[in-house]
Amino acid sequence: MESIKTKKLTIGISSMALFDLVESNKVFETEGKEAYCRYQIEREDECLSPGVAYPLVKKLLGLNERLPEALVEVILLSRNSADTGLRVFNSIREHGLDIKRAVFTSGATPFVYISAFEIDLFLSTSPDDVRKTLEAGHAGATILSGKGSSSIYKDQLRIAFDGDAVIFSDESERIYKEKGLDAFTKNEQQSAKMPMSGGPFKSFLAALHHLQSHFPEETSPVRTALVTARSAPAHERVVRTLRSWNIRIDEALFLGGLQKGEFLKSFGADIFFDDQTTHCESANEHVATGHVPHGIANE
């Protein structure tokens, strides 16, 4: 096992999140598996264009160039067969991505290998695979296609998170949904000094924080933000919870219900994670977005 000091940040990614496979997928959906296999084999020397998560992966792997040893690994978890996956691996080589490990499952869900690879975050375009990942206790998000633009910060990886049901459990959100804003606010004031339980992204945030610890804070190539619909006085419990976990968040935006998209654009997020589809739609107009189908909002 790796020591705590050298523990890598490990990201699992599907081939459809990494590359633009929209045309290939149309063949699969309209003509079937055999036609899809022929289509990919005939084009295995044609390089695939970058997909929605490609810029994020490029930045993640680029962090290794600023470290004495590689502490970030990206692993491909694909529903392709090894045969059709050859085009994907050829494209990885052509784009100069340092991805060496891969699983090709010939249509079966690849999420079963997440634990074996000790993956900290799984990104996929398959909501079903992501749900299974979350149910198994791992961080996962469905990458949304859309207008998400690349970050204005070329030399810094910027990742933004929602709070409740993402970094934190959905215990407070349940009170809000079931009893309203006043009951939620009262509960958060009464529980201000009581840390919340961790949500599905707590361990990923901790791994990211560990990676940040290898750089001076003022020149770190990784910056994080909490972007939450909470407002004062419900902010205190959030601050105290992160403090109790000994996890640093670089920026915290308490928006009091405002749309998140413009703020995420201002932060320059490479990706934003949220459990609520409405927030994801707002965010996806401006930045790459991962929907976390977890908690009461997704029941």
Residues labelled as active-site residues: 162
Chain centre to alpha carbon of residue 34: 32
Burial class (CB in 10 A: 0-12, 13-18, 19+), 2: exposed
* CB contact set of 246 (below 8 Å; sequence gap of 6+): none
CA dist., res. 129 & res. 108, Å (int): 10
CA dist., res. 216 & res. 221, Å (int): 9
Q: To the nearest 10°, report the CA torsion of 217, 72, 198, 187.
A: 40
User: What residue type is 90 in one-letter code?
Assistant: N
